[in-house]
A and B are shown apart, each in its own frame.
Chain A
Amino acid sequence: MATNQQAIPATAVQTRQSSGVWRDAIGRLRKNRLAVVGFFGVCFLLFLGVFGPMLAPWPYYAQDTAAVAANGFKPIPPFQDPSHILGTDGLGQDMLSRMLDGARISLTVALVVQLVVLLIGVPIGALAGWYSGSRLDNGLMRFTDVMYAFPDLLLIILFSVAFRETAFGQAMNGLLLVFVAIGLTAWVTVARLVRGQFLSLKEMEFVEAAQAIGVSDRNIVIRHLLPNGISPIIVAVTLGIPAAILAEATLAYIGVGVQPPRASWGSLIAAGQPFIRSYPHLTYLPGIMIAAALISFTFLGDGLRDALDPKLKGKQ
């Protein structure tokens, strides 16, 4: 509380009405050390994803056969050859350059999947929750049930195999298709979560109060229910980013999605696994990247959750 006791100019008090919640949230976020670590982690990963391939010492597909031959046709361990700081695999492909390209793949996964999830999940969950018990709710929830009942892995794999030949399937080396397929299976959780939130929120007094003074349904949903139900959505979406990165890595590990010579962190691990005892760097380097990405997004999401929850105000 002590930090909030500074004198506040009258003008500042008035602006609180519109943007205060978000400004407060940013202030709280900056005080949360883990969230700041996560925020910089995410920024760093974004930087690597956008500029990494330009900074990479080698193209991700280049094979430095001379260096590997000099090393007896074996993978070069990290910090041995100055031109391959993090070493190479058995083909002479530079690990640093390959992991930088992997960063781009993982970040695109994170963004595309969550976009698909939010665009589909929130409206469907909100409509179904608000009009609960109606035909619309029934219809939407039955559709959700159908999507929900699909085994994710099967649908993603079937999807990516079925549309591989189309123009959409060819976009981004076939990766875009995998991303959208992951999103198409992932929105259901958010939709159900939003509906569940709405079911209990709309029984609350402030909704009754808003209805009593004649606020339209549309405004109640957008201005009262969504902001009050946003923290679980944020937690779900933030958890969804690492989950999507994980799904992509898992699919890549079993060989679905990204195709050689491009490699995501998951397929790098798959390629390195047979050599784990003699050349562990082929496995643990991409493993560290996955862990760093998952942890950064998780820390940031946790911080956002605490910061965005107005009910926590003054308790930290």
Chain B
Amino acid sequence: MGTYILKRVLWLIPVVFAVSAITFTLMHMVPGGPWSSERAVSPGVQAKINKQYGLDKPIPLQYVDWVVSLAQGDFGPSFRYADRSVNAIIADGLPKSIQLGVMAFIVAVALGIPLGVFAALGHNKAPDYAATGISIIGIATPSFVLAILLVVLFSVVLKWFPTGGWKGPETWVLPVIALAGYQVAVIARYTRASMLEVTRKDYIRTAQSKGLRSRAVVTRHMLRNALIPVVTILGPIFAFLVTGSFIIETFFGIPGIGRYYVQGIAGRDYGMIMATTVIFALAVAVLNVIVDVLYAFIDPRIRYS
């Protein structure tokens, strides 16, 4: 197990390199550059700026430069904000994005799994319909629609929460709910499907027939097995909540990196695109390793060699 984890962790390095190389290539295939604008810049000035930012070199060399600079912990300059380095922008925005994502993840798991279990235990009865109804509403409402509804109801009409910003707990509530809503439904559905699958296994019947209290059957036998497929989707869900919060960040005016990252694509801010991709990619890859290791702990039938 130890060597397996070590191997997987070492694999993170090539994974992140592959992601960064693909992104670098795609990024330079995009027509236009950071200096394309309506005002034409004279070729001399253009060449000078290109030289200053290293854009005059061949693209493979530019990539090598970027890797060397990254090895020293420097994401390089932002091509859009001349006065700020990418490092400074990331250091400012990343904690906010992580905080938003983690809070939404906690809400999604804390509501989604019990909802799914509740539905499965009362299969085809009132609890099932109630829990499924809630998760259907969650699935049918995109985060931006949920955000619009939440703001209209709780900010404009009831005036309970502010419409935006990121200045304290009362500003966190609406964005976290808007971001988590859909994932609550997804987790609940997966948990329900998985629980129903497990309910029909022989070992559950055995556990029940030997007179085990139903609470013990559910927690020790059903949940542990039913959570295996659920664990596999928690990784991508967490990644989605951290990296996919761009809509919510923009909607509520939260200064996280999600906003900078799509602005970076629009403005061909090469430094910003590379930095956000690598950070997000590293986060997702690390989560994958954690999920796979958890997998082996939860399901002893799976053996890694």
Partners in one complex: yes
The verdict on A290 contacting B142 (CB below 8 Å), with A153-B243, A254-B262 known, is yes
Assess whether B70 is interfacial by the CB under 8 Å rule.
no
Q: State how many residues of chain B have any CB contact under 8 Å with chain A.
A: 64
**Contact B142 A239, beta carbon cutoff 8 Å:** no
Assess whether B87 is interfacial by the CB under 8 Å rule.
no
Using Cβ atoms and an 8 Å threshold, which residues of chain B touch A232?
Answer: 193, 229
Closest to A232 in B: B229
The verdict on A154 contacting B277 (CB below 8 Å), with A149-B284, A254-B247, A295-B140 known, is yes
**Contact A158 B27, beta carbon cutoff 8 Å:** yes
Assess whether B9 is interfacial by the CB under 8 Å rule.
no
**Contact A298 B288, beta carbon cutoff 8 Å:** no
The verdict on A311 contacting B200 (CB below 8 Å), with A145-B288, A161-B30, A295-B136 known, is yes
Assess whether B3 is interfacial by the CB under 8 Å rule.
no
**Bound CA span A314–B139, Å:** 30
**Across the A-B interface, how many residue pairs have beta carbons closer than 8 Å?**
153
Using Cβ atoms and an 8 Å threshold, which residues of chain B touch A146?
Answer: 15, 18-19, 22
Assess whether A93 is interfacial by the CB under 8 Å rule.
no
Assess whether A291 is interfacial by the CB under 8 Å rule.
yes
Interface members, chain A 184-240 (any B CB < 8 Å): 189, 192-193, 196, 199-200, 203, 231-232, 235, 239
Q: State how many residues of chain A have any CB contact under 8 Å with chain B.
A: 57
Q: What is the CB-to-nearest-CB distance from A142 to chain B, in angstroms, rounded to a whole number? A: 6
Assess whether B161 is interfacial by the CB under 8 Å rule.
no
Q: What is the CB-to-nearest-CB distance from B217 to chain A, in angstroms, rounded to a whole number? A: 18
**Contact A149 B229, beta carbon cutoff 8 Å:** no
**Contact B23 A158, beta carbon cutoff 8 Å:** yes
Using Cβ atoms and an 8 Å threshold, which residues of chain A touch B200?
Answer: 311-312, 315
The verdict on A196 contacting B295 (CB below 8 Å), with A142-B15, A189-B236, A231-B197 known, is yes
**Contact B305 A158, beta carbon cutoff 8 Å:** no
A158 contact from B30, B132, B302, Cβ within 8 A = B30
**Bound CA span A200–B194, Å:** 14
Using Cβ atoms and an 8 Å threshold, which residues of chain A touch B232?
Answer: 192-193, 196
3 A-B pairs with least C-beta separation: A291-B140, A151-B280, A149-B281
